[in-house]
Each structure stands twice: as C-alpha cells, then as structure tokens.
C-alpha cells in the first residue's frame, strides 16, 4: 500500500470513529421524550392546540391532534378493533365514563393524582377531570335586571319568558350533561316536560354556547343558558360585554346548579404507551392543570390552583348532587331521550 492510500484509509477510519462517537453522544443527550402521541379532542380547538403545543415544546413528543367535537366518541367506538388514538380530551365527563363502561378506556398507570379527588376520576383511573363548568343563566344588563331574571331552571318553561332566551341544540355535550342531572333529580317524565317546555319557549335554539353568549351580548336575547365560562368570555369582549350571571336553583330546598367537567381519558390499546405516560405526568403538573382550566376560563378541580379573577369556585355555591361518575350510566339514554323530543337536531 502506498503512502497516499494509507493516508486516505486512516482519514476514513477517523471519520467513521467520529461519526460513531457523535451518534452515541446524541443518543445519550437526546430528548428523552422523543416519540409521538395521537390526541383526540372534543374541546374547543384553540384551547387544546395551545395546550398540546406546550406539551410538544416541553417534552419533544410529536403530537398528532384530531379535533372532532361530539363525533370523537363515535370515532373511538368505530376504531375499537384498530385503535389509532392514545388520549381523548373531552368537554363532558359523561362521554368519558360512557367510554369506560363500554370498555374503551384503560387505567392510567399512576399511583397518585395530586389535588384530584376520587369523585373526579374514573373508578379505575382511566379518566381524570381537570376543570369544572357550571350551568348558568347569562343575561344582558341593558335588557333585563337581575331581579327580573328567572332564578331556577324550571322557570325557563314559564310563558313570561317566551322568546326571550336562547339555548343550544340538545346534542350539545353541555346540554346532555344537564339533562342527565335533571333526570337524576326529577325523573324522566318531568325532565321530558321541561325539555318540551324550553323547546317551545326559547327564542332560538343555536348550535353552540359561543353563539348564545354573542347573541345575548349583542342584545338579540335577554338571556341564555350557558356554561359559566362563556360569561367570562363575554366579559372580555371589547364591546357587548354588559352582561351578568345567575347561578340557578340556589334557594333553600332547590337542587343547586348543575356542574359538569372537562378532562382526559386513556384510550385502550393506544399505540404509544410511553408517550401516554409522559402526557399524564405532564398534564398533572400544577402549571399545566392551571393552563387546562384557566385558558378556557373554567374553574380548576384541584383546590390548590387559583381560579381566574372574578370567577366563583365550586365550593362557593350550591351544586346539584349527582356524582359526575354517574353521568356515564345514563349518557346514552339521555341522548335518546333528547332525540325523542326533537331537540337534538333542531336549530332555529
């Protein structure tokens, strides 16, 4: 071998050693969170995207997000034989518990859930609620006074309020949870009477709560039935923000305001186990629990996390007594009841 070839060979060997060493260094110092996770979400896209972007930045795990609103529950069911998703983020505990009962969620591998009491988790810890929302009556102060407002949910059937308020269509997750609680409180017969009454009495049946809060703020209706965070959203608008809120059914002998919650569940047999565990550990960190609830102006389930300015913690008013865990038992029946009433598909 001549000297020139020998030098070339030594250079090549040196380059090879350097490449191997560099690869080993990168492997040792690389992002431990490298991987991917598939997240299905029924929540508002803006809230969830911001949350998942932070998760991706903090962990290096690539997030594939599918936003499907109320259709996500059906998608999880349809994919049970060929699971694609890892995490389901829901606006409604009823949907999460329904999937658990159907055997489509699996336990989260964690011993402790700081600040999240058992009543806000699936009995097998397959889902966890992080933020609460309460059903309230938001009203336009230019059109109606607090004294003139109805003070309980049944009053929405009173002819004196005919045409003055707006509700969502019955298929909305918030309405399903609300009707489930009323069934628990009143039974099906009176609940159906209430559904029929508000359907006839409402001035509008709209697609979502955002439509209601904007319409009330603009003075198209005197008041509307919404989740409490929509009230706070309207207060932040640069105009049309002269609104107030009534927490209904607070008097002695009344049932209290209906509460539901948003949270996440672990989809059974999801393809990315390690990333799921990383997501659970990450989302339960206090700053991320706070982001989950406060970005949407909801109230944290964890009492150690501050509520947004001007909001009322769920310990500060009377709450209807149905356990959130019970929502899953009646979720499907409630949907059928609403469909039978015609409220599910009606928008006017």
Q: How far is CA 227 from CA 107, 297, 307, in A?
A: 29, 10, 16
Q: Do β-strands 127-140 and 259-266 pair in parallel, antiparallel, or remain unpaired?
A: antiparallel
* Check whether domain 134-259+330-341 has CATH 3.40.50.9100, yes or no: no
- Each domain of the chain, given as residue ranges in start order, spans 35-132+260-311, 134-259+330-341
pLDDT in tens, the chain (348 residues): 544 444 444 444 444 444 444 444 433 333 444 699 999 999 888 889 999 999 999 999 999 999 987 788 999 999 998 999 999 999 888 889 989 999 999 999 898 998 898 888 999 999 999 999 899 999 999 999 999 999 999 999 999 999 999 999 887 778 888 998 999 999 999 999 999 999 999 999 998 899 999 999 999 999 999 999 999 999 999 999 999 999 999 999 999 999 989 999 999 999 999 999 999 999 999 999 999 998 888 889 998 888 888 888 888 899 998 877 777 778 778 888 888 887 765 555
Which residues, listed in sequence order, are joined to residue 168 by a DSSP beta bridge?
206
Q: What is the structure's pLDDT at 22?
A: 41
Same-fold call for 35-132+260-311 versus 134-259+330-341: yes
For the chain, where are the E strands, in sequence order?
Answer: 35-41, 61-67, 87-90, 127-140, 165-168, 204-206, 223-227, 243-246, 259-266, 299-300
Query: Cα–Cα distance between 113 and 142 in angstroms, integer?
Result: 45
pTM of the full predicted structure?
A: 0.76
Closest CA to 346 of 179, 166, 147: 166
Closest CA to 185 of 14, 321, 346: 321
CATH tag, 35-132+260-311: 3.40.190.10
């Amino acid at each position: 071998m001549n000297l020139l070839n020998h030098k070339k060979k030594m250079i090549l060997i040196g380059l090879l050693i350097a490449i191997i060493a560099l690869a080993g260094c990168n492997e040792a110092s690389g992002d431990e969170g490298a991987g991917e996770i598939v997240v299905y979400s029924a929540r508002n896209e803006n809230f969830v995207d911001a949350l998942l972007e932070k998760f991706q930045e903090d962990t290096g795990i690539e997030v594939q997000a599918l936003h499907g609103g109320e259709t996500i529950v059906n998608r999880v069911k349809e994919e049970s034989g060929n699971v694609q998703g890892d995490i389901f983020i829901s606006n409604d505990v009823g949907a999460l518990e329904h999937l658990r009962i159907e055997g489509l969620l699996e336990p989260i591998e964690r011993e402790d859930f700081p600040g999240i009491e058992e009543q806000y988790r699936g009995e097998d810890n397959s889902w966890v609620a992080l933020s609460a929302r309460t059903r309230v009556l938001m009203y336009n102060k230019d059109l109606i006074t607090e004294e003139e407002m109805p003070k309980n949910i049944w009053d929405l059937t009173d002819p004196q309020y005919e045409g003055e308020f707006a509700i969502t269509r019955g298929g909305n997750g918030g309405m399903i949870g609300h009707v489930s609680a009323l069934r628990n409180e009143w039974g099906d017969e009176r609940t159906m009477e209430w559904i029929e009454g508000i359907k006839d009495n409402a001035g509008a049946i709209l697609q979502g709560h955002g439509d209601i809060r904007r319409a009330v703020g603009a003075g198209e209706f005197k008041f509307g039935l919404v989740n409490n965070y929509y009230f706070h959203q309207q207060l932040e608008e640069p105009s049309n923000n002269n609104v107030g809120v009534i927490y209904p059914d607070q008097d002695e002998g009344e049932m209290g305001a209906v509460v539901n919650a948003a949270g996440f569940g672990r989809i059974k047999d999801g393809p990315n186990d390690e990333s799921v565990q990383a997501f659970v550990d990450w989302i339960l960190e206090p700053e991320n629990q706070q982001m989950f609830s406060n970005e949407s102006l909801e109230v944290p389930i964890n009492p150690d996390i501050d509520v947004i300015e001007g909001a009322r913690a769920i310990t500060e008013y009377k709450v209807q007594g149905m356990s959130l865990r019970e929502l899953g038992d009646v979720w499907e029946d409630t949907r059928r009841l609403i469909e039978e009433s015609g409220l599910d598909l009606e928008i006017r």
